[in-house]
Amino acid sequence: MRITITSVFVDDQDKALAFYTDVLGFVKKEDVPLGEAKWLTVVSPEEPDGTELLLEPDTHPAAGPFKEALVEDGIPFTSFAVDDVHAEFKRLRELGVRFTQEPADMGDVTTAVFDDTCGNLIQIAGR
């Protein structure tokens, strides 16, 4: 068993696609119209056949309160691996990304947390 797709709820798929590709550096993989929404996924350019991230509309009534509660408590929705948290923090900050947690040494791992502009906090982690 392996993970092929995971998702993040977003408030605007087009805005999310721009942020996740133009800022974070992911690559669009699937873009299939489904009425008002679409099946929209991105992947790491380092693993184009790897796990896809579905930019899923947050239209379900539970999604908004769930996302708001996580943000209010400072809890990241998901985590992405990076080789160098400090370098990625610097790169993203220079692109205007707002961090809620600067790089912090957590023993064997360093983490930082940013706002994805779509209603989520996202953690980056690396050694």
* 27 vs 52: CA distance, rounded Å: 10
Alpha-carbon distances of 93 from 31, 78, 90, 102, 106, rounded to whole Å: 28, 19, 5, 10, 21
- Run of H or E including 69: helix 63-72
- The pLDDT value given to residue 9: 98
The model's pTM is: 0.95
- The pLDDT value given to residue 107: 93
**Which is nearest to 20 in space by CA: 44, 3, 49?**
44
Which CATH number is 1-61's, of 1.10.645.10, 3.10.180.10, 3.30.1360.40, 3.40.50.300? 3.10.180.10
- Kindly list the domain boundaries of the chain, sorted by start residue: 1-61, 70-127
Q: What is the pLDDT along the chain (127 residues), one digit of tens a residue?
A: 999 999 999 999 999 999 999 999 999 999 999 999 999 999 999 999 999 999 999 999 999 999 999 999 999 999 999 999 999 999 999 999 999 999 999 999 999 999 999 999 999 999 8
> Exposure string (b/e) for 107-118, b if CB count within 10 Å is 16 or more?
eeebbbbbebbb
Using DSSP's 3-state secondary structure scheme, residue 22 falls into helix
Which burial class, exposed, middle or buried, applies to 3 when counting CB atoms under 10 A from its CB (0-12, 13-18, 19+)?
exposed
In words, the CATH class of domain 70-127 is alpha beta
- The pLDDT value given to residue 127: 81
Q: Which two structure tokens, joined as six digits, stand for 124?
A: 């980056």
